[in-house]
Amino acid sequence: MRAARLYRYDPEMNEQLRLEDVPEPTITQPDDVIVRVVAAGLCRTDLHIIEGVWKDILDPQRTLLPYTLGHENTGIVEAVGSGVTAVKPGDRVICHPLRTCGVCLACRHGEDMYCLNGRFPGLDSDGGFAEYLLTSERALVKLSADVDLVEVAPLADAGLTAYRAAKKAARLLPPGTSGVIIGIGGLGHIALQVLRAFSGARLIAVDVSEAARQRARELGADDVLAGGPDLVEQVKELTGGGAHVVLDFVGEKGVEQQAWQMLRKGGTQIIIGYGGRIEIPTVHMIFNEITVAGSLVGNYAELYELMDMAARGLVRVHVQRYPLHEINRAIDDFKHGRYFGRAVIVPS
């Protein structure tokens, strides 16, 4: 089968994925499932993997290379292991990004991302920038025939990440409160839709891109700001003292330092984007009793919930399609911001 493989980490991002023929995956465990990939979303994490940001965590011995990236996958079940009962060949599915064991305490609690024995196809094993993907029965959510597998592919990770963060925020944002979403890109535009469905709060969207700001208006933001050095003051003026919740989908370039400063007393900053460093005086945290929390992808139940919202038209992803042989063009377009929303790689 054809697959896009990473051979070398490159902080300068000059390294391209190599398209080559590799053996198709095979069933070795009773719960194994082979999926014929219909669509695989291109994520900023894929760029960070190429840059080597994750190598010390996921590949300290440099033994993974070469391998296939791609962790936002949809497709058609091709083959199943002897113990699989939830899906069968021909079923249309979206893959939760993690293969989990199901028996550790984290799995028993339903928090898939904390699985002690999990594997993450596309990060620590071969992923979906290929014609076939090996995953497990526990990772699959069946989809109806009227769901566009290309359009929903980014929901497997980007959408799930945005959903989990927005769901946390919605609990803190009843009517009469205000929430700020920083970064209305591939994740932020999804979070805005989820919060619009879940919360009656005033929602303020922030992005440096005029196209993203226009999209935010179309998706129901109450106020739209362009960011900049006076962003904190703008938010405090709009909200009468500060936001109750800030969702930071940027997490770098100084934005992470602005986010906590625009909170009112008792406010919460939820960090989804990463790359920067937060420095908060402890006296400020105590006096204002603010909370700063990270948010990590999402669990299987949340993916199921998100797919229900997508099926009912409550959440839509704006996608740009690329064939597998143009994956390096897709990566270059992503790096240079040539499209809005998410790029999706279509193998066939």
Q: Which pLDDT score, from 0 to 100, does residue 276 have?
A: 87
Residues 6, 67 contacting (CB under 8 angstroms): yes
Distances (CA, A) of 148 to 30, 58, 196: 29, 32, 23
DSSP 254-278: THHHHHHHTEEEEEEEEE-S-SS--
Partners of residue 136 on adjacent β-strands: 32
What does pTM read for this prediction?
A: 0.92
d(CA 213, CA 308): 27
Q: Which pLDDT score, from 0 to 100, does residue 283 have?
A: 94
DSSP 204-233: EEE-S-HHHHHHHHHTT-SEEE--STTHHH
Q: Over the chain (348 residues), what is each successive 10-residue block's mean pLDDT?
A: 95 90 97 98 92 86 91 98 97 96 94 92 96 97 94 95 97 97 93 96 96 94 95 96 97 92 97 90 95 94 95 91 97 89 92
In three-state secondary structure terms, 192 is helix
User: How far is Cα of residue 267 from the mean position of the Cα atoms in its chain?
Assistant: 24
Closest CA to 17 of 30, 34, 4: 4
Longest dimension (CA), the chain: 61
Q: Parallel, antiparallel, or unpaired for β 263-271 and 243-248?
A: parallel
Residues 328, 16 contacting (CB under 8 angstroms): yes
Partners of residue 204 on adjacent β-strands: 180, 223
d(CA 223, CA 171): 21
90 secondary structure, DSSP code: T
Q: Which pLDDT score, from 0 to 100, does residue 348 have?
A: 82
Distances (CA, A) of 39 to 126, 159, 248, 321: 15, 15, 27, 9
Closest CA to 163 of 17, 336, 308: 308
- Scan for tokens 């109750």, then name that residue: 244
Q: What are phi and psi of 163, to 5 degrees?
A: -65, -45
**Domains observed in the chain:** 2-157+298-346 (3.90.180.10), 160-294 (3.40.50.720)
Q: Which pLDDT score, from 0 to 100, does residue 63 have?
A: 87
d(CA 127, CA 347): 12
Closest CA to 41 of 147, 186, 211: 186
The CA radius of gyration of the chain, in Å to the nearest whole number, is 20
User: How far is Cα of residue 255 from the mean position of the Cα atoms in its chain?
Assistant: 19
